[in-house]
Amino acid sequence: MHLVWIRTQEGETVIEDLEVPSTKQVRGYETVALPLGGAIFRTRQPAVDMDFHNAPRRQIVVPLEGEVEIETGSGEVRLISPGMALLADDLTGQGHKSKFRPKNATMLFLLLPDDLDPAIWRK
């Protein structure tokens, strides 16, 4: 499973691609169960452009309907669409810009514990 990871490095938000290992199962490929601190569904998300901000918590953002565009201070942009996932982990520093599209989007937020180190999924 591919994850786009945004994290803080030397005060700046950087983007890194991660690959959560999966194994072939009867119904397709599956990762191991990830430890979660909870899940939040957001419905009727308005179309909104957010200036630089930090992630409110460590979370995997999964667009179920609609998409979110992420931009770092260096100008790198990624579009996260249904079927993709964003690991928002830039809790300090400059942060990132977000654009949620279209209005009435539905997002799933999977809250991650502090002791989970995403670096284990580096390619």
Count of Cβ atoms closer than 10 Å to residue 35 Cβ: 9
Quick: pLDDT tens for 33-90.
999 999 999 998 888 899 999 999 999 999 999 999 999 999 999 999 999 999 999 9
Q: What is the total count of domains within the chain?
A: 1
27 within domain boundaries: no
122 within domain boundaries: no
Contacts of 24 (CB under 8 A, 6+ apart): none
Predicted pLDDT of residue 46: 86
Provide the 3-class DSSP secondary structure of residue 121: helix
Predicted pLDDT of residue 92: 97
C-alpha distances out from residue 87 to 28, 47, 80, 82, Å: 23, 21, 11, 14
123 within domain boundaries: no
30 within domain boundaries: no
Structural domain containing residue 88: 2-18+36-116
26 within domain boundaries: no
Predicted pLDDT of residue 123: 79
Whichever domain contains 104, its CATH number is 2.60.120.10
